Amino acid sequence: MKVFYYVLVFLFLFSSCVVVRQDEVAVKRRQGKLIGEPISQTARIYNPLVTTYIKVPTRIVNFKINLDIPSKEGLTIGSEMSILYRVKSSEVKDLLENVGMNYEQELIAPVFRSALADVSARFMAKDMHTGNRASIEEEVKNMINGTLDKKGIVIEQVLMKRIVLPESLSAAIEQKLTAEQRAQQMKFVLERERLENERKLIEAKGIAQANIVEAEGKAKANQELNKGLNELILRLRAIEAFEKLSKSPNAKVIITNGKTPFIVDDK
């Protein structure tokens, strides 16, 4: 019997102790009324018959929600959204008193749906699927922060994780992207061909210039060679003339420039 009594006492004491971690706060509720200030990072013993502690996380929470949103052209777009939010520890008591523990569905979700529908109705459906998604997320975040911040909730980020477009629009966007990719590919091919043609032209000009230089060099060499040959031929002709004159029986006087070879037969 004593053992049973001790067990009951142990269970009673164990069930009447609350431990509050660093990423949450707790508010005491006694006989249905919230009393005192929120507590954090502590342990408390309380009477479970008349008192409880309500814990609320103050860390960043990921609230996922799926809903259909309108576009500027009147289409209905399916979306998968994530809302990253946190509760202000100093305003947990007021939040619980005014909204209750189910503040995600009672407060965050309705405000978010209204803001997202208002913002998405200003954008075309294709814009939600492209780079304008970040603009939509930022506008929605700023809009709902204006309302929820007063209630003790801070929206850190709004993320459009997935957008489901109508099949006809999705096919049209895919065809457009394919056409753009082909156009970019063709542009790349044309640019590559242009650069290749420029390379060949520069190469041809270089070869032609080299041929011209080579031809000029050969012409100059031939000119020098011809000049040397002409001098040798003239000297040879002079020698032949002197030989003929030397064989003549007539007396002769030969005047030269001193450079012409003079051959005398001593026979």
- CATH number for the domain that contains residue 138: 3.30.479.30
pLDDT at 14 over 70: no
Q: Within this chain, do residues 87 and 177 fall inside the same structural domain, yes or no?
A: no
Q: Within this chain, do residues 177 and 256 fall inside the same structural domain, yes or no?
A: yes
Domain holding 135, by residue range, is 61-165
Q: Within this chain, do residues 171 and 264 fall inside the same structural domain, yes or no?
A: yes
Confidence of residue 266 (pLDDT cuts 50, 70, 90): very low
Q: Within this chain, do residues 45 and 126 fall inside the same structural domain, yes or no?
A: no
pLDDT at 19 over 60: yes
Q: Within this chain, do residues 146 and 177 fall inside the same structural domain, yes or no?
A: no
Predicted local distance difference test score (pLDDT) of residue 112: 95
Predicted local distance difference test score (pLDDT) of residue 8: 52
Confidence of residue 260 (pLDDT cuts 50, 70, 90): low
- Which has more confidence, 48 or 136? 136
Predicted local distance difference test score (pLDDT) of residue 83: 95
Q: Taking residues 172-177, what's their average pLDDT?
A: 64
Number of structural domains found in the chain: 3
Q: Within this chain, do residues 107 and 126 fall inside the same structural domain, yes or no?
A: yes
Q: Taking residues 216-227, what's their average pLDDT?
A: 72
- Which has more confidence, 114 or 46? 114
Which of 42, 57, 72 is the C-terminal boundary of a domain?
57
Q: Taking residues 121-141, what's their average pLDDT?
A: 85
* Mean pLDDT of the residues in the chain: 79
pLDDT at 10 over 60: no
- Which has more confidence, 31 or 78? 78
Q: How far apart are CA 225 and CA 202, in angstroms?
A: 34
Share of the chain above pLDDT 70, in %: 73
Q: Within this chain, do residues 172 and 155 fall inside the same structural domain, yes or no?
A: no
Which of 12, 29, 57 is the C-terminal boundary of a domain?
57
Determine if the pTM surpasses 0.85: no
Q: Within this chain, do residues 75 and 146 fall inside the same structural domain, yes or no?
A: yes
Most confident of 84-93, 186-195, 251-260: 84-93
